[in-house]
């Protein structure tokens, strides 16, 4: 697992067509924006684990 720090407005790219951007970060709460092709399935972890 890669662990990196990012500030609001910064992002990471996964491959050529997926971008994960930090939208907001305060008081231990984090909001992410994910830009990916429509055919990429994105599922929240707590949904998958139940």
Tens of pLDDT, residue by residue over 39-48, are 999 999 898 8
Global pTM? 0.83
Kindly tell me if the per-residue pLDDT of 50 is higher than 80. Answer: no
Element housing 33 (H / E): strand 29-35
Which position has the token pair 């008081």? 27
Phi-psi region of 24 (alpha: psi -120 to 50; beta: other; left: phi over 0): beta
What's the pLDDT band for 49 if we cut at 50, 70, 90? confident
Calpha distance 10→3 (Å, rounded): 15
- For 29, other C-beta atoms within 10 Å of its C-beta total 7
Query: Minimal CA–CA distance to 20: which of 28, 29, 10, 30?
Result: 10
């Amino acid at each position: 697992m890669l662990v990196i720090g990012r500030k609001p407005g910064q992002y990471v790219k996964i491959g050529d067509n997926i971008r994960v951007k930090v939208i907001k970060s305060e008081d231990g709460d984090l909001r992410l924006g994910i830009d990916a092709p429509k055919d990429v399935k994105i599922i929240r972890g707590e949904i998958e684990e139940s």
